[in-house]
Amino acid sequence: MYLIYLVAALSVFLQFGNTLLVPLRPPTLSTSSSSSSSQSAFSLSGSLPTPSSPIGSISFASLSTGSSPTTSINSSNITSSRYPSSASPSPTATLADFATVLCNSSDVGNPAADPSVRWAEADCDDAWAAVTQNWTTVPGAQSLIFVQYVSEYWNGPQQWDCGKMGEDPCGAGPGDCGDINDKGPFGTPDTPAGWLILQSFTNYHNFQLNQYSAIGDAQAFVVGQIGAFQSAFAPIDDPESALNIFLDILGLGLSLISAAVWNKVLKDIPFFNEPNDPNNFGWAQGSANAIISSVLTLSKETLPSAQTALGAQNTLSDYTVQLVNQWQNITAVYTSNLFSGSSSTTPNITDLTNLMANGSLLNNGVGAQGIYDMQSIMAQTLFGLLIPKAWQTSNEDVNPFILLPANNATGCPQNPWSEYVSDSVAAASAVCYNNQSYSLFNAKGGPCPLPYSKRDSQNLDFGLSPREVPPPAFSCPNKAISELPGISTMDGTQWGGVTRDDLVISAVQGYLLNGEQNGYQMPVGGAGQTGYLYFENGIQTPGLCTIPVCGLGMAWGAWAKYGGRGGAKPSGYPCVS
């Protein structure tokens, strides 16, 4: 069989000289007619966002991967997303390229060498173009899953499934460079390009497996705090409210977790923060944002099944268990899709190509990264989203609001509201942000009585602008503004480190971005923040916290109108007119 291929190859070589199209490895699989998927292509021309400017405005459409091209793959339309001008594969691959490079060639086999140099010297771009073209064109190729086919292409390890979240031979790596070879007509004793590609697979598989396992391991930690959470904060007793809360947390939560992990990757791995090579940071930034947006998309796609699973629960602890299970499931689906070889999934083969570009997944430490402190990351994400929602949906008389600085004053005095708030409540509720004093209070019950002449509707808001306050004549002897339940525990030592500062900063930034009005609609990815990653600011992302913001004049007027009377209150209470 191989003799036939050798003769055929020799004929082509004699006819065209040394210049050959990207070699297609002779299929070792059954060549009986079988339907293969439609040919796919991926053009990687263009560049990622530069790390010199923040994200800016983000729309959900801009995060989607878009439709897949339908033209066939060839080496001339594949360029690197990181180095489009200098690292593009050659228009044709010849016997002097990836098929003839040896493991002892220069720095190819040196794990301490620059990954982009190793990738280029092994001609991995042309090798990747060849194997992906074979995957879509050779009859019978897709009788194997994509990763197995890629490994078989270079006679690599058997039974690989890098998309599997569990024990798999992929996690052990492809062995030594010399173990990977191409025994086809253009074969050599070893093929380092195949070895580097398979090593990239292993590194990212292990990175994803670490996260998947860490999410599961952290489940008991966060579930174990739910009882104390319910005691400290307002309990969520209504099943429908609990279901809606956890469905909201489902997608946002895992996106925040992914952002936190990648933020650590960018800061902790020297390869990505080398000041002399911003391209590495640019690759990681673009890759991380693509991952986070894929998680958002998958979260939306899993909502129906998640709603069924969550809807069958009875307690807050049960909801939390199912939530973490869903986070693991989305992580598994993401990884499976990434390594599927498909051009139509989220993520897809284009995303995998971008992740591997220029050896970015080689000797930089990604695959060896642990899960950092996933317990803290998960706890901060869960409770940072859950605390304000628990207050806002409580069956008890809990009405959180954020009080603007008195008359827009600067400085952060100890108790700027001494006419209305006790010193102890002020101390537990105050946040100094941008040298202004904001306070996270509870509009519980009704305010202290006003003089009869001030009870008519015309004067309920005192005719003041939103940032002004009632005059001292209307101060309250009983200091009517109260403390929110559980706020005294938000000192950073519990709930994954969530503090009242986190909630206030998120809500106030959304309020300011919306022209000093409530109702800010947070764009996908948390635009409006300072940083380079989607959701880089975590639970401080503008508008992630939806607690209403207003001045005391507006709050007091609504409080006098609706407070202490029972029944439903308008949305956004007490920051309503």
Q: What are phi and psi of 176, to 5 degrees?
A: -80, 160
Report if pTM > 0.85.
no
Question: Could you give the CA distance from residue 252 to residue 538 in angstroms, rounded to a whole number?
Answer: 10
In 299-442, the DSSP E strands lie at: 400-403, 430-433, 436-442
415 closest CA partner among 428, 398, 397, 396: 428
Q: What are the domain boundaries of the chain? A: 207-380, 397-562
**Structural element, H or E, at residue 265:** helix 239-268
Length of the chain (residues): 577
Q: What's the token pair of residue 21?
A: 């199209």
CA–CA–CA angle 213, 164, 372 (5° rounding): 25
Q: Write out the chain's pLDDT in tens, 577 residues.
A: 333 333 333 333 333 333 333 334 433 333 333 333 333 222 222 222 322 333 332 222 222 333 322 222 222 222 222 222 223 333 344 443 788 888 888 888 888 888 889 999 999 999 999 999 999 999 989 999 999 999 998 888 989 999 999 888 999 999 988 888 765 444 456 789 999 999 999 999 999 999 999 999 999 999 999 999 999 998 888 888 889 999 989 989 999 999 888 888 777 776 776 655 677 778 778 888 889 889 989 998 988 888 898 888 888 999 999 999 999 999 999 999 999 999 999 999 999 999 999 898 887 666 555 555 788 899 999 999 999 999 998 888 899 999 999 888 899 988 888 878 889 999 999 999 999 999 999 998 777 654 433 433 333 444 444 454 555 545 565 567 889 999 999 999 999 999 999 999 999 999 999 999 999 988 866 655 556 778 889 999 999 999 999 998 888 888 878 877 777 789 999 999 8
Q: What's the token pair of residue 296?
A: 């958002």
CB 127, CB 191: distance < 8 Å: yes
CB 525, CB 535: distance < 8 Å: yes
